[in-house]
């Protein structure tokens, strides 16, 4: 226990030092981007013009991260803040409302269509949802505060969605840097080719696992499932901010026992409570793999997105093969 506390304390100090180092820079930086995969894309687009600042390093979940004052300051000082929106980085919302500068919430752009979060206990292997009315009700109550949280913001898990994001970010950067229109267009075209190549690579890697189903800690894999023909069959938490209840787990266990669903693996997310997920995997007698779609251990920068998607898919395959 003591060891764990020391480890946590060292981690917290390291996180503060790390952010202080980058936030000193942030006072003169022009672009601040919320999460590593988006930051990577913006770095590639702004190459040769400016170095965007990363706001959240990916060590804790953006669904419920606590911002430190230097992060709030970095948002205030930026010429533009780029984020998915309240559908994903909810804790930023109250600060964004107070910003007078330029803000790009990707979920507000008409070319980026967010899917609704799913509700119920688990989903049918063939088609759509197996509804559980009681839990549907709970789910909607929980989300009454903000409609935006009824949407799934994990768009970067499909590289082809990221090509849409390139188009949106490009428009905004052209307004911000009117003297660099040509360079921005070239950078954007180069990066779209990289995204297409990444998608083709991942398609090939995922091909043998087509149609396989799995359980994950919370609902965030719809874009990934669509892109790579696999399927989330159930989640442990209906919402990432709400702990699971026993009834929910019992229903999943019964569905597996009755042969109604055949998940290959339970995936835990690096940013969430791994010990809890492991205990559920034991209960459900499923293999257990930790995935990290924010690339907490991958250095930020223009290559980060491809690296984190490759790492994600490699870990994913470990569970589903
Ligand atoms: Zn999430």
| Residue 311 reports pLDDT greater than 50 | yes
| Predicted local confidence at residue 142, as pLDDT | 32
Q: What spacing in Å lies between the alpha carbon of 218 and ligand 1's midpoint?
A: 7
Q: What spacing in Å lies between the alpha carbon of 64 and ligand 1's midpoint?
A: 10
What percent of the chain shows pLDDT beyond 70?
80
| Residue 23 reports pLDDT greater than 50 | no
Higher pLDDT: 223 or 132? It is 223
Q: What spacing in Å lies between the alpha carbon of 27 and ligand 1's midpoint?
A: 29
Q: What spacing in Å lies between the alpha carbon of 309 and ligand 1's midpoint?
A: 15
| Predicted local confidence at residue 276, as pLDDT | 82
Q: What spacing in Å lies between the alpha carbon of 54 and ligand 1's midpoint?
A: 18
| Residue 171 reports pLDDT greater than 90 | yes
Q: What spacing in Å lies between the alpha carbon of 153 and ligand 1's midpoint?
A: 8
Question: What domains can be seen in the chain, in order of their start residue?
Answer: 22-110+156-201 (3.40.50.1980), 120-153+207-320 (3.40.50.1980)
Tens digit of pLDDT for each residue in 132-162?
A: 433 333 333 333 334 456 899 999 999 999 9
Secondary structure of the chain in HEC code, one letter for each residue: CHHHHHHHHHHHHHHHHHHHHHHHHHCCCCEEECCHHHHHHHHHHCCCCCCCEECCCCCCCCCCCCCCHHHHHHHHHCCEEEECCCCCCHHHHHHHCCCCCEEEEHHHCCCCCCEECCCCCEECCCCCEECCHHHHHHHHHHHHHCHHHHEECCHHHCHHHHHHHHHHHHHHHHHHCHHHHHHHHHHHHHHHHHHHHHHHHHHHHHHHHCCCEEEECCCCCHHHHHHHCCEEEEECCCCCCCCCCHHHHHHHHHHHHCCCCCCCEEEEECCCCHHHHHHHHHHHCCEEEEECCCCCCCCCCCCHHHHHHHHHHHHHHHHHC
Q: What spacing in Å lies between the alpha carbon of 174 and ligand 1's midpoint?
A: 30
Q: What spacing in Å lies between the alpha carbon of 185 and ligand 1's midpoint?
A: 31
Question: Mean pLDDT score of the chain, rounded to an integer?
Answer: 84
The reported pTM is 0.84
| Residue 290 reports pLDDT greater than 50 | yes
| Predicted local confidence at residue 241, as pLDDT | 66
| Predicted local confidence at residue 120, as pLDDT | 66
Taking a 5 Å cut-off on Cβ, the residues next to ion ligand 1 are 220
């Amino acid at each position: 226990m003591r060891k764990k506390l020391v480890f946590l304390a060292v981690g917290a100090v390291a996180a503060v030092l790390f952010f202080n180092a980058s936030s000193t820079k942030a006072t003169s930086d022009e672009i601040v981007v919320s999460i590593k995969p988006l930051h990577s894309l913006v770095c590639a687009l702004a190459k040769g013009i400016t170095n965007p600042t990363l706001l959240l390093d990916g060590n804790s979940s953006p669904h419920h991260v606590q911002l430190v004052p230097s992060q709030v300051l970095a948002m205030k000082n930026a010429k533009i803040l780029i984020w998915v929106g309240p559908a994903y980085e909810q804790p930023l919302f109250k600060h964004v409302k107070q910003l007078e500068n330029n803000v790009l919430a990707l979920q507000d752009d008409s070319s980026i269509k967010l899917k609704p979060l799913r509700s119920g206990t688990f989903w049918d292997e063939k088609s759509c949802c197996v509804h559980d009315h009681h839990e549907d009700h709970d789910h909607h109550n929980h989300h009454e505060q903000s409609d935006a949280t009824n949407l799934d913001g994990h768009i970067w898990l499909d590289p082809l969605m990221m090509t849409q994001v390139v188009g949106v970010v490009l428009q905004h950067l052209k307004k911000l840097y009117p003297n660099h229109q040509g360079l921005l267009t070239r950078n954007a075209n180069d990066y779209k080719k990289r995204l297409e190549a990444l998608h083709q690579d991942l398609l090939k890697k995922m091909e043998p696992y087509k149609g396989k189903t799995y359980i994950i800690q919370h609902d965030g894999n719809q874009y990934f499932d669509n892109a790579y023909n696999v399927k989330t069959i159930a989640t442990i938490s209906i919402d990432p901010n709400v702990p699971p209840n026993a009834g929910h787990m019992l229903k999943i266990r019964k569905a597996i026992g009755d042969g109604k669903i055949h998940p290959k693996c339970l995936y835990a997310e690096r940013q969430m409570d791994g010990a809890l997920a492991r205990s559920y995997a034991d209960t459900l007698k499923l293999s257990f793999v930790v995935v990290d779609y924010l690339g907490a251990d991958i250095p930020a920068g223009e290559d980060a997105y491809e690296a984190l998607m490759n790492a994600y898919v490699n870990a994913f395959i470990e569970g589903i093969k």
